[in-house]
Amino acid sequence: MIPPIPRRGFTRAERGAVGLNTTQTPVALFEKCRQFTRAREIQAAGMYPYFKAISASEDTVVVIEGKRRIMLGSNNYLGLTHHPKVLEAAAAALHRYGAGCTGSRFLNGSLDLHEQLEHALAEFLGKESCIVFSTGYGANLGMISGLVGRGETIYLDKLDHACIVDGAKLAYGETQRFQHGNLESLVRLLDRNTSGRGTLIVVDGVYSMEGDIADVPELVRIARHYGAALAVDDAHALGVLGPNGEGTGAHFGMQSEVDLVAGTFSKSLASVGGFVAGREEVIHFLKHHSRPFIFTASLPPANTAGVIAALQVLQDEPERRDQLWANARRLQQGFQSLGFDIGPTQTPIVPVLIGPLDTTFLFWRKLYDAGVFTNPVVPPAVPPSQCRLRTSVMATHTPEQIDQALEAFATIGKELGVI
């Protein structure tokens, strides 16, 4: 028989006896929730673009609210989410290992699959060792907070992804942020650091809302001059940049000069999870000091096996990357020929600058109704006057799909006075 569990807290009578107000509600804490009305206003206007439930997916086409729409907002760059080898590997692992690991890597949740993936990634990236996290977000949290301690300093580009910023917040060191891509401002900050303690520079390899590429050669030069470590988050570069898709460092022929490469499996590798690759002693340290790694349940077997398969497909089918870049050029040139401002993008991420918030949401809605799914990017992610629609292509988009999307952009852009 299960013994009764002691009840916690006061009864209503006990509260009265000790003078506690039995009707008081946590008004102060929840007041901000009551005052947050903007999202409901947008929902009421029929312009709300978030949390759209996909009921079916056919790679480049998804079904939302009963209608087929061209997916022009996914990070599935190589189109591997439906690749038969990826699906077969995931299904086989599901039946062999079960649905989950039910524990952390540190204790009972390590599989031989995790080790296989870590070895494969380290070899592919040209690094000594690798550690796999349950999410890409957790990879940066774990890398930064695990390495940077009291008295040490982290330097971040102001447009670094939120997981990098949050990793710095979780660390005990000091954080300094430099203007996006302005490495002179980074140097000025480094010049002021006279502590002589550990220093880490963290940048995105490809910036997810702009599509531009970090200047790795200059970052390496600066890091070496100041004795700093350089970490590059290749979430949007893995499978996209480099001779074989190895990422930003390889794109510049400087992979060996980048101290740490972080990334995610939720984009080109068609799953979920993340990693950090670097020197063996650094990865060994993280395995024993990174709280987001130690205290998180490990990556499920099906996801891990799917990533292993996707990484192999990435290497076996280089034509996918060639097609991705052909599609990126078609989309970029199409937007530019129509008169749209796509900013400094150099990658398959193609932002279309719209301007005002209301116009951006209206443009999104009209595209959605026309069967094209995009992602609106609005404050605080960008300044109020620089709202945009973020588009991205896959290797598996057909020329006809890209042209159909461009035609919809052209019609709506003229209607709303954007072009």
Cβ neighbours, 10 Å, residue 133? 27
DSSP 289-302: H-HHHHTSBPPPHH
How far is it, in rounded angstroms, from Cα 89 to Cα 69?
28
How far is it, in rounded angstroms, from Cα 69 to Cα 81?
17
- Taking CA atoms, 96 is separated from 89, 101, 104, 288, 312, in Å, by 11, 12, 19, 28, 20
Which residues carry out catalysis?
208, 236, 267
* Sheet of strand 61-64, all strands in order from the earlier edge strand to the far edge: 54-57, 61-64, 67-71, 372-373
Q: Is the dihedral of CA 187, 193, 198, 202 positive or negative?
A: negative
DSSP 190-220: HHH--S-S-EEEEEESB-TTT--B--HHHHH
The amino acid present at 67, given as its one-letter code, is K
Q: Which residues of 246-279 are buried (b: 16+ CB within 10 A; e: fewer)?
A: bbbbbbbebbebbbbbbbbbbbbbbbbbbbbbbe
Distance of CA 288 to the CA centre of its chain: 25
Give the position of tokens 């932002």: 351
